[in-house]
Chain A
């Protein structure tokens, strides 16, 4: 087992002696973060509101519906739009264009129904297959539950103690029927700010360039593995009591450590100098960084075992860099693209990594919001690693 660490330490020594490593892993991402940051208005003065925009059509107009709107207005996750001049059709157009993340309809009779102890359904149009849709759903559900339970409690308290049993049953049964009905839509969901703002723009470009150049930097890592094979040092390693699996894991560990260190340095840089709030949720941020590093390191391993020479290692690093970055939303936020492009984008690991980072820094979501992106990244890591292991077995025989 200790040989895994010996091989990783040797690899790191080799990789760090290559000046291209620093160029790709540190200098280029910082330079391009500034470049793209300027392009997206990251250094212009603007008001940042990273919350998800949700339109409300209040058909009820009663006290309790207004209280619900009031609760949602104070949300840290969604921002409310209400315009009496706009119809449902108008809002649906905005939803389709991606200018809205959801439409909440509070039906007529909502207040009366609540006061009589029943649970009138709310109606939400959003794409609940995406993170933003489920986030809105959770937030509205939480606010509606809060309001409903308050009403139920008030009603129960207003009854005599002799009627405790039926009142309790009534309060308990109140939770059996959810107070919201979701209507899923395939419309594009606007998960970012409506306009480019300083923080949001840099929160887009900082992780985007970090991920993009992490992949580009794989060319030096891949070259180390290629050269090991080319000089027949790999064959020599296999004449020692070192297992193939240990050699593979040693290389993987080296790339992972390198990328994770890169992420830590660049996230710290982003936090201190670009005001991108990576450490708002430190555990979530670290989890995304670890998952991204595991995934990209496995890709590096795959490149190293597939490339036959250094030129191929360079090509095999740059091709996924362009492909994954372009499709995965590193150049243009996926929120600004069509639903089809978003779906295609999420075939790449970069899209999931971007989701993870932006859920923390742009959408201001909690730890749970990075679990799905991290699971997807872990899945890619396993896939890439298994492919690399299969290929490594063949090339080392």
Chain B
């Protein structure tokens, strides 16, 4: 029996001079939720596209339930459900018509198709609105149909490419709950996101990507250990960051200081000890601290530690 649902081996993909994916490798065990976390442009969607057989890798290969994305594309597609980042639906068809069409594309026919469409409508909570055209739905409802399509043929593996982008908090909560529900049904979920909280909440394992590479890989706890359990202090000041940046780097207990878009981020062993020293140093430099936020170690800090930049859009 297969241990891993997905095995990615040294994938490369370039578009001209741009190396979108540069030697990515990871493994996803059966029945787990695996997140690819990274900012926009990190190479997550390109990776997913190769694993969906939409793009052919320049180098490397991947096995999805034992099927090679290079040599057995139909085999890969038969075990796969994909929830793309975009609302990939036909707006002038109703939810039921969309699901029926996509069900046929996944090989379902007749009574089996009809009953599965009914089931999926129930799962996504749109039975009452099944006859309405998708074009008239809210963003959240469209997202639900978008996910429903991928569930029609009960795939063994589901890819979800940033499924919560641009939707309201309630719909987002529903989607995150449904991802957990899929895992509980035994499906393997490969989830891409640039929201650290989602990756933390959902994932059994996480690969952090940046500039086409996997820069860290492990469970949430394992990744957080990379930054050594440091606290993250985010501050804004009433002056140019350059006036205190170098001085703060010399403060006892401070491990790293970065500035981005007028916000200073300090990684420190103990924020309670460091914070008074930061106030003192800034006063000596004639700078006033206007806001302070302290955060326990998390993936954001890991990303900051590894790349020197914040994990954001």
Contact = CB atoms under 8 A, between A and B. Distances in A.
A235 B54 contact: yes
A231 B97 contact: no
Interface string B49-86: 00011110000000000000000001001101010111
Given A239-B54, A239-B82, A241-B78, A6 B88 contact: no
A232 B105 contact: no
Given A6-B105, A232-B88, A233-B88, A239 B93 contact: no
Interface residues of A, number: 22
Listed residue (B78, B84, B90) with the most chain A CB atoms within 10 angstroms of its CB: B90
- Leading 10 A-B pairs by shortest Cβ distance: A236-B88, A232-B86, A239-B82, A240-B105, A6-B104, A232-B88, A233-B88, A239-B52, A241-B77, A10-B101
Given A6-B104, A10-B93, A236-B82, A241 B74 contact: yes
B303 interface: no
B237 interface: no
A190 B93 CA distance: 51
A10 to B, nearest CB: 5
Listed residue (A228, A239, A241) with the most chain B CB atoms within 10 angstroms of its CB: A239
A3 B104 contact: yes
Contacts of A236: 82, 84, 88, 102, 149
A13 B106 CA distance: 19
B106 A240 contact: yes
B152 to A, nearest CB: 10
A interface, over-half SS: helix
A18 B92 CA distance: 9
Contacts of B102: 236, 240
A6 B101 contact: yes
A10 B90 contact: yes
Nearest to A236: B88
A235 B84 contact: yes
Contact of A3 (B85, B91, B105): B105
B interface, over-half SS: loop
A368 interface: no
B107 interface: yes
Contacts of A238: 53-54
A231 B88 contact: yes
5 contacts: A3-B105, A231-B91, A232-B85, A239-B54, A239-B82
Contacts of A10: 90, 93, 97, 101
Interface in A230-252: 231-233, 235-242
A227 B89 CA distance: 10
Given A13-B93, A239-B82, A397 B55 contact: yes
Contacts of B90: 10, 14, 227-228, 231, 233
Contact of A240 (B77, B85, B93): B77
A17 interface: yes
B226 interface: no
Contact of A231 (B53, B78, B87, B105): B87
Contacts of B92: 14, 17-18
Given A13-B97, A14-B92, A231-B91, A239 B53 contact: yes
B78 A232 contact: no
A228 B86 CA distance: 12
Nearest to B51: A239
Contacts of A237: 105
A239 to B, nearest CB: 4
Interface in B9-56: 52-55
Listed residue (A2, A6, A18, A233) with the most chain B CB atoms within 10 angstroms of its CB: A233
Nearest to A243: B74
A2 B110 CA distance: 13
A235 B88 CA distance: 8
B264 to A, nearest CB: 39
A18 B133 CA distance: 13
B86 A231 contact: yes
Listed residue (B54, B78, B80, B97) with the most chain A CB atoms within 10 angstroms of its CB: B54
Interface in A206-262: 227-228, 231-233, 235-242
A239 B80 contact: yes
Contacts of B80: 239
Interface string A8-35: 0010011001100000000000000000
Given A239-B82, A241-B77, A14 B54 contact: no
Interface string B94-105: 000100011011
A251 to B, nearest CB: 13
Contacts of A3: 104-105
A235 B77 CA distance: 13
Contacts of A17: 92
A3 B102 CA distance: 10
B243 to A, nearest CB: 47
A359 B89 CA distance: 46
Contacts of B106: 240-241
Contacts of B105: 3, 6, 237, 240-242
Nearest to B73: A241
Given A10-B93, A227-B91, 18 more contacts: A6-B104, A10-B90, A13-B93, A231-B87, A231-B89, A232-B85, A232-B86, A232-B88, A233-B88, A235-B84, A235-B88, A236-B82, A236-B84, A237-B105, A239-B82, A240-B77, A241-B74, A241-B107
